[in-house]
Amino acid sequence: MKTTRCIPAVIAAAFSLMTLGEASVKTDNTVLLPVKNDPTICFRIWFKTGSQNDPAGKEGLAAVTASMLTDASTRAHSYEQILDLLYPLAASYDASVSTEMTVIYGRVHRDNLGDYYPLFLDAITSPAFTQDDLDRIKSLTLNYVENTLRYSSDEELGKAVLYDDIFAGTPYGHITDGLVSGVKSITLDDVRAFYRTYYTKDNVVIGLGGGYDAALLARLQRDLAKLPAGKPAAVPPPKPAALSGFRATIVQKDAPATAISMGVPIDILRGTKDWYALAIANSWLGEHRNSSSHLYQVIREERGLNYGDYSYIENFPGGGRRTVPPQNVCRRQQIFEIWIRPVPAEAGHFALRAALREYEHLVEHGLTKEQFALTRSFLKKYVLNYAPTTMARLGYALDDRFYGIAGSHLAKFRSMMGTLTLNDVNAAIRKHLHYGDMSIAIVAKDAKAFRDELVSDLPSPITYRTKKPDAIIAEDREIAVFPVKIAQEKISVVPVTEEFK
């Protein structure tokens, strides 16, 4: 054994099993997460707006406006100058825009705070709003919607189509990035008006974390108090139309495999006892990117049909790129969601049936004692991975404010794992989940053929190149005839070019 170096640690993320999510201090417009030994400072400035505030015909305005703050010029500096000034600091700032929240965030080493802070503040309080910046940002957004989302990832496409279908006609009814026509129509006046309405001192919550001092907090509060006054009108929570049985949207495109997402609105939000109970059931059925997911076991591990299969009780954007939940994507209306990663076209119908069959079984029978015990034990420690950094914990602290959770959601999550019983979990399943209503989004090469399969509900047996255990073959026979009948009028076949128009 040899010791190669002994240099005092300069970084210590004060983080502990005992103190997860502790220590956030909340006042009316401030959420603080001091971490004394952290040499970095984290900012999360939350404006209570998001794509739900996009005016009709201007879908995408919330996201474009936020980019006009963080990816564009200020009155003091051109965008080029900002890039030059930020570069040596190894710091940047960015905007996270979701349905209900817009958060301007950044992180800097305390050595560089003096150079960073004026740039960060200017971005929020003193944007230049130039036509050149707007053109560039709109072009990036349009490229994302028209090309990347439609063509480069069928599973992300499927998820977007699912949410659009469930929330059609509500303020949640379009993707955050916007619709092609909406983005094209956005003008500088639209951006200015949106900024004036929502970026006000009465609509902001300051999130500050890490190794900051009292002087920085006072300065930030003073500086943001210079934003104009104004309390925007509240948007009522969306009321998605009730689902009645199954319905499907099948996106027709030249897809090399079939991607499936499905979901149904649920009436529960984090913070309540039932939510944590349901989190156990959901984790067992489909913990995100984890082999403990039962759906993963059935569809991938035992049958090798795809790369993974998961379920959710909260919106989880960017699921293909991240392993733990994002922060600051809170919503007042959530859905229960199942995500089947692309399967070979010939196994699409079978995989859909397999997933629905497992879901029905969960709803009808609940968890067993063993499933409950293992999942509870898993989650109690696994949630530690949700927020290992100051930035992530500050994000959770803001989310706690959104949901009105006293204390910390993550701390509560852990403590609930010690107190919830199997009865609690199965009662929550019975109360909040039901089988039979579901919106299904499918991306397929031959959409009409898939539609005909759903209408006919004929058996969909699959074959394997290899020998499978008898138990799997026997179960396959049941899956292949599991009823998922959908009337033709409840199935839309949509060319991909028609999505997000």
Partner 1 sequence: MKPLLAGLCLLSLLAFFSAPAMSDAIFPYKVTTAVLPNGLKVIMIPMDAPGLVAYYSVVRTGSRDEIEPGRSGYAHFFEHMMFRGTKKYPGSVYDSIVTSIGASANAYTSDDITAFHLDFAAEDLPKVIEIESDRFQNLSYDLPAFQTESGAIYGEYRKGVTNPFEMLDEKIRDVAFDAHTYKHTTIGFERDIKAMPEGYDYSLGFFKRFYRPENVVILIVGDIKPDAVMKLVKQYYGPWQKGYQPADVKPEPPQTAERTGDVSYPGKTLPILDMGYKGDAFDPASTDFVAAGVFGELAFGSTSELYKRLYIKEQRVDALSASIPFNRDMPLFEIVARIKKDDDIAPIRGEIEKTIAQFQSTPVDAQRLAGVKKRSRYEFLMALDTPDRVAAHLAQVVAITGGIDAIDAYYTTLAKITPGDVMHAANKYFVPARRTTVVLKGVAQ
Site for partner 1 in 464-493 (CB under 8 A): 464-469
Q: Which is nearer to partner 1, 36 or 222 (CB)?
A: 36
- Told to check if 360 binds partner 1 by CB under 8 A, we report no
CA distance linking residue 15 with residue 364, whole number of Å: 40
- Told to check if 2 binds partner 1 by CB under 8 A, we report yes
Residue 308 is encoded by which pair of tokens?
A: 């993974």
Q: Which is nearer to partner 1, 292 or 492 (CB)?
A: 292
The least CB distance from residue 279 to partner 1, in Å, is 13
CA distance linking residue 428 with residue 431, whole number of Å: 5
Residues 181-210 that bind partner 1 (CB under 8 A): none
Q: From the list 382, 396, 402, 482, which residue makes contact with partner 1 (rule: CB under 8 A)? A: 382
Pick the stretch among 331-339, 379-387, 396-404, 481-489 that binds partner 1 (CB under 8 A): 379-387
DSSP for 142-167 reads HHIIIIIIIII-HHHHHHHHHHHHHT
Is residue 157 a contact partner of residue 494, using CB atoms and an 8 Å limit? no
Q: Which is nearer to partner 1, 3 or 244 (CB)?
A: 3
Q: From the list 380, 415, 449, 475, which residue makes contact with partner 1 (rule: CB under 8 A)? A: 380
Pick the stretch among 75-83, 180-188, 449-457, 483-491 that binds partner 1 (CB under 8 A): 75-83
Pick the stretch among 83-91, 216-224, 359-367, 403-411 that binds partner 1 (CB under 8 A): 83-91
Q: Which is nearer to partner 1, 320 or 459 (CB)?
A: 320
Q: Which residues of 333-362 are buried (b: 16+ CB within 10 A; e: fewer)?
A: bbbbbbbbbbbebebbbbbbbbbbbbbeeb
Residues 432-471 that bind partner 1 (CB under 8 A): 464-469
Q: From the list 231, 273, 361, 381, which residue makes contact with partner 1 (rule: CB under 8 A)? A: 381
Q: From the list 32, 89, 216, 493, which residue makes contact with partner 1 (rule: CB under 8 A)? A: 89
Q: From the list 23, 30, 109, 457, which residue makes contact with partner 1 (rule: CB under 8 A)? A: 109
The least CB distance from residue 281 to partner 1, in Å, is 15
Residue 305 is encoded by which pair of tokens?
A: 């049909």
Mode of pairing for the β-strands spanning 204-210 and 30-34: parallel
Q: From the list 23, 26, 32, 79, which residue makes contact with partner 1 (rule: CB under 8 A)? A: 79
β-pair partners for 27: 30
Q: Closest by alpha carbon to 291, among 303, 273, 280, 307?
A: 307
Q: Which is nearer to partner 1, 158 or 271 (CB)?
A: 158
The side-by-side arrangement of strands in the sheet containing 258-266 is 309-312, 334-343, 258-266, 438-444, 246-252, 491-495
Is residue 263 a contact partner of residue 438, using CB atoms and an 8 Å limit? yes
Q: Which residues of 130-153 are buried (b: 16+ CB within 10 A; e: fewer)?
A: eeebbebbbebbbebbbeebbeeb
108 membership: H or E segment, kind and range? strand 102-109
- Told to check if 409 binds partner 1 by CB under 8 A, we report no
Q: How many residues bind partner 1 (CB under 8 A)?
A: 102
One symbol per residue from 324 to 343: x for binding partner 1 (CB under 8 A), - otherwise; what is it? x----------------xxx
Residues 210-249 that bind partner 1 (CB under 8 A): none
- Told to check if 36 binds partner 1 by CB under 8 A, we report no
The vertex-498 CA angle with 152 and 494, nearest 5°, equals 90
Residues 280-319 that bind partner 1 (CB under 8 A): 289-292, 300-308
Question: What letter would DSSP give residue 112?
Answer: G
Strands (E), 372-466: 438-444
- Told to check if 419 binds partner 1 by CB under 8 A, we report no
Q: From the list 5, 36, 222, 369, which residue makes contact with partner 1 (rule: CB under 8 A)? A: 5
- Told to check if 155 binds partner 1 by CB under 8 A, we report yes
The least CB distance from residue 308 to partner 1, in Å, is 8
Q: Which is nearer to partner 1, 147 or 181 (CB)?
A: 147
Q: From the list 135, 346, 437, 478, which residue makes contact with partner 1 (rule: CB under 8 A)? A: 135
CA distance linking residue 97 with residue 85, whole number of Å: 25
Q: From the list 27, 75, 76, 90, which residue makes contact with partner 1 (rule: CB under 8 A)? A: 90
The least CB distance from residue 291 to partner 1, in Å, is 5
The least CB distance from residue 346 to partner 1, in Å, is 12
Give every CB contact of residue 114 below 8 A, 6+ residues apart in sequence: none
CA distance linking residue 397 with residue 411, whole number of Å: 11
**What sign results for the dihedral spanned by CA atoms 462, 467, 472, 473?**
positive
The least CB distance from residue 404 to partner 1, in Å, is 27
- Told to check if 255 binds partner 1 by CB under 8 A, we report yes
